[in-house]
Structures are given as structure tokens and as C-alpha cells.
Amino acid sequence: MAKTTTFGRTGLLTWLGIALIVIVLDQFTKTLILGYFQYGDSRHVTSFFNVVRVHNTGAAFSFLAGASGWQRWFFVGLGLVAAGFIVWMLRSQGHQRLFAWALSLILGGALGNVIDRLLHGYVVDFLDFHLGARHFPAFNIADSAITVGATLLIFDELRRVRRG
């Protein structure tokens, strides 16, 4: 059994540190975008990628973006509840490395977007991938961390099912 500390099982601080790194990278890149781009600006980088500045008041793929403003606080609350649940899971399951990595990435991404909602009332998105005129919805580092974390969760569960 893993040695316990006042923070739970050994390793919780490591997993929280990974989440903190995601938050710092996310907020740093968003600060750069806010400082160097006006709303709606777009800079061509490659034939399939632009850096843009867009604001998302909704969730993934701008879900609920057209609502009257209540969604800001709903998504802040949802993000904070999810963060609390993830920390609880990390305390009890932090010894499962792939699972803990996944949760840490999701935690950092969720809190990165919560910070945006609290500071600005929207999430700053800036990564714009496209194929010709067809654009994937713009996203950010936090969204990327959440997506990678969710993918790792699926992979971890598939591995667990194959073993059992």
C-alpha cells in the first residue's frame, strides 16, 4: 500500500502539479492571444492551421453560446464540481498512473476554462484547424488537455477490460 500524507496517497501533489502546469500553459497562451490579437483576428500559419481570437460563451462546439448569460455560471459551477470530484478520485486512485494522468489533464483543462469564464465571461479559443473552407471549431490548450485526458481514460478502460 502507498504511503499516505496529509494530502492523501503519495502522488496527489504530483497529479495536482501536472494539472497546474496545464493551467499555467493554458492561461499563458490565452494571455498572449488577448495581448496580440483583437477579437476576430486571424493569422495564417499553414495551409491547414490559423491562429485566431474567438470568444466562446458556451461549451464544446459553442453549445449554449446563444443563451442569455446563465450558462456562464452553470459552466463555472459544473467545472468546480468536476474539479472536486477529480481531486477526490486522484486521492483514492492516484496509484493508477494512466488513469491519474488522464484525470490530471482533464482537471487542468477544466480549471483553465473556469478561470476564463470567471475573468472574462467567455473562454478564449485560438487554435483553428481547417481543410479548405471547412473549419473545425476553434479551441485552446485547456480543451486539448481535456481531449487528451478523455482519450487516455478510454484507452485505460479498454486496457482494463482486456486484462480482466
> Which position among 116, 125, 128, 156 bears the catalytic label?
125
pLDDT of residue 63: 59
Q: What angle do CA 137, 141, 144 make, to 5 degrees?
A: 65
- The one-letter amino acid code at 141 reads I
**How far is C-alpha 140 from the geometric centre of its chain's CA atoms?**
8
- pLDDT tens, residue by residue, 90-148: 999 989 999 999 999 999 999 999 999 999 999 999 999 999 889 999 999 999 999 99
Which of 26, 116, 128, 143 is an active site residue?
A: 143
CA dihedral angle for residue 125, residue 129, residue 132, residue 134, rounded to 10 degrees: -60
**Each residue's pLDDT tens digit, 40-53:** 999 999 999 999 99
pLDDT category of residue 163 using cuts at 50, 70 and 90: confident
- 116 counts as catalytic: no
How far apart are alpha carbons 72 and 67 in whole angstroms?
Answer: 9
User: Could you write out the three-class secondary structure of 2-66?
Assistant: CCEECCEECCHHHHHHHHHHHHHHHHHHHHHHHHHCCCCCEEEEECCEEEEEEEECCCHHHCCCC
Confidence of residue 73 (pLDDT cuts 50, 70, 90): confident
The yes-or-no verdict on residue 58 having pLDDT over 90 is no
Which residues touch 44 (CB under 8 Å, ≥6 apart)? 50
Confidence at residue 9, expressed as pLDDT on a 0 to 100 scale: 47
Higher-pLDDT residue of 157 and 73 is 157
Quote the pTM value: 0.87
- Residue 93 CA to residue 142 CA, distance in Å, equals 23
Q: How far apart are CA 80 and CA 89, in angstroms?
A: 14
Rounded mean pLDDT, 54-66: 70
Average pLDDT, the chain: 89
Does the annotation count 143 as an active-site position?
yes
The pLDDT score that the predictor gives to residue 86 is 97
